[in-house]
Amino acid sequence: MDLRLSYTWLKEHLQTKLSAEEFARALPRHSMTVDRVEKVSPAWHGVITARITAIAPHPGADRLRLATVDDGRVQQTVVCGAPNIAVGQVVPLARVGATVLDVPTGKPHQITAATIRGAESQGMLCATDELGVGDDHGGIWILPAGTPVG
């Protein structure tokens, strides 16, 4: 069985000052073997959390909407085609300059301000696959209600 554990997550539940490598060497003495330790860096950069404060129809496209989001500093409008967004939700926001995954190619993609069918978009709301944390592209990743913005 291939079991992968985040050392950062483990440290939230264990009291240890060991490095990931030291922990991996000590674990087999008490529990299971460790085949390898991999350093993983996020597939994204510059993505923050934001609360959706308003949603309006897109004036030039039936399947798109204009989501106003608040990141704790500013409110901005993002064009979004995902069907699952609602006012009050906390979602990942890739602001202008952020990097996310281009899903078809798997390569990094930098977010720029864009005009989409005549409407300005100052970023992108993200699905799990665009952040490299899942494979769902059916909608925006809706974070738990208590998630802080920013």
The CA distance from 68 to 51, in Å, is 8
Number of other residues whose CB lies within 10 A of the CB of residue 85: 19
Q: How does strand 65-70 pair with strand 123-125?
A: unpaired
Q: Which backbone phi and psi does 22 adopt, to 5 degrees?
A: -65, -40
Would the pLDDT of 144 be above 80? yes
The CA distance from 127 to 93, in Å, is 10
The CA distance from 90 to 144, in Å, is 7
Nearest to 114 by CA among 146, 66, 56, 46: 66
Q: Which residue has the higher pLDDT, 135 or 1?
A: 135
Q: 16-71, pLDDT tens digit by residue? A: 888 888 888 887 777 777 777 777 677 789 999 999 999 999 999 999 999 999 99
